[in-house]
Amino acid sequence: MSSILEEIETKIAGLKTSATKSNIGVVRETGDGVARIEGLSDVMLNEMIEFPSGVFGLALNLEETEVGAILLGDTTKVSEGDEAKTTGKLLQVPVGKALLGRVVNTLGQPLDDKGSIKTETFYPLEKIAPGVIKRRSVSQPVQTGIMAIDAMIPIGRGQRELIIGDRATGKSTIALDTIISQARLNKAAEDEGDKNYRPLYCIYVAVGQKNSNVARALDVLEREGAMPYTTIISAPASDTATNQYLAPFAGAAMGEWFMDNGMDALIIYDDLSKHAVAYRQVSLVLKRPSGREAYPGDVFYLHSRLLERSARIAEEFGGGSLTALPIIETQAGDVSAYIPTNVISITDGQIYLETDLFYQGVRPAISVGLSVSRVGSAAQIKAIKQVAGKVKLDLAQFRELAAFAQFGSDLDAATKARLERGQRIVELFKQKQYNPIPVEEQVAVMWAMQNGYVDPVRLTNNGKHARHTAPDQIDP
């Protein structure tokens, strides 16, 4: 008997107990992708909430007696009376090089039937942007392969450059061209064994797009050999407003992994107009007070906290960078609307695409007068800097003279020469889509233009001839 008691006492002494604390509430109401829960008194903002069906929610509204949570899975599996418990975790997505070449949803789950993504690293969707001390000035170029941008509106690594314009003016095409250009540079550096070149990895976030558009973008990137360096995050128009709202933050988290590990990444948000609409829908369903155009009061903060996560980090903190190209769609060219003005004020410049130029055959339809890069020539290589300054001045003078020239034909020889030079530059900057031009070819062509070597060529074939003769057929 005593041996039995001793054995029991030994087992009791060796028993390890651990208490787990979880806060439990009850679903009071559900609908439109939102659950209102009573009793979760200890829940954190943006904390994951678990329901019995295995569906998770995200706590967005913390009120006196209840919590408003957006649902991340199948909303039909959550019903009134269900228990809801806190998890003590924030929403995280998988990050790392394993995501390159893949198409994933907002939560980082694969959509391309290529099997699971093997990564053990996860980043939270929401993260405070790097502070002033961690940052350094932008000085390394992002070669887009689009001559008008690389010459006049240069983009640097760590910059936020807005692409803005009406629908169907070539905004997404500029973004895809930039990805293709990076892929070609990355591949060339790999083939040559260039250890000094820092590859630029790309993340394309498609928010509220048609599935056919996302499929077309994927097809282009695969055809051009860009997918090994690219991740596509798809939250199409058929997806829930919750997923569309969270997708850009998931993309930013994936890009931050490269930045934190001393690498360079480029992220494209296509587009933030639809992102703002999705956030408005979520906010209205959560019964948050609405402001101008029914957007919630913190819609500016929505985009500022997202775009401020792009930066160039100082060497002592890793020296990585995250470059952002947000896209905004305007209505009838109105850049003074609510969301466009918000994002213009957050970014380091904008590339404005004009509908009139697009229909005149000037493609990419970049308006030189309304487009600007606040980083400027600091993000250009010396060769481009030398030839582009004069080209930009000539084009500005051409725009000014062209307005006066239409009132009369009696022009002096110098004015006619300037007008002709300006028309040649306009032709030179025309470019086929998905055909980025290498930087060395850009320099040669602009040098030939600047020094009058292309003047004898007939104007209609000017741009085509200039690129066919560059760089080896131009006699210096």
Distance (Å, rounded) from C-alpha 222 to C-alpha 230?
10
CA distance 439 to 147: 8
Q: What's the DSSP call for residue 75?
A: G
Q: Which member of 167, 223, 292, 374 is catalytic?
A: 374
Examine the residue annotation and report whether 374 is marked as an active-site residue of this protein.
yes
Query: In terms of Cα–Cα distance, which of 91, 41, 85, 86 is closest to 66?
Result: 41
Q: Which two tokens stand for residue 318?
A: 């890793």
DSSP state letters, 218-258:
HHHHHHTT-GGGEEEEEE-TTS-HHHHHHHHHHHHHHHHHH
Question: With contact defined as beta carbons under 8 Å apart, do 181 and 435 qualify?
Answer: no
Instruction: Collect all residues with Cβ–Cβ distance below 8 Å to 339 and sequence separation of at least 6.
Output: 272, 273, 276, 295, 299, 303, 328
**Which residue do the tokens 């639809």 mark?**
274
> Residue 127: is it exposed, middle or buried by C-beta count within 10 angstroms (0-12/13-18/19+)?
middle
Q: For 379, how many CA atoms within 13 A lie in the half-sphere containing its CB? A: 27
Under 8 Å between Cβ of 355 and 166: yes
List the one residue out of 198, 273, 188 whose CA is nearest residue 226. 188
Would you give the DSSP letter of residue 141? Answer: B
Instruction: Single out the residue of 243, 250, 345 nearest to residue 299, CA to CA.
Output: 345
End-to-end CA distance of the chain: 107
CA distance 334 to 353: 12
The β-bridge partners of 165 are 329, 353
Measured CA to CA, the distance from residue 265 to residue 321 in angstroms comes to 6
Give the DSSP per-residue string, 36-47: EEE--TTPPTTE
437 secondary structure, DSSP code: P
CB distance 319 to 265 below 8 Å: no
With beta carbons less than 8 A apart as the criterion, state whether 273 and 339 touch: yes
Cα–Cα distance, 224 to 184 (Å, whole number)? 9
Q: What's at 441, amino acid-wise? A: E
- Which pair of tokens denotes residue 289? 């007070």
The residues carrying an active-site annotation are 374
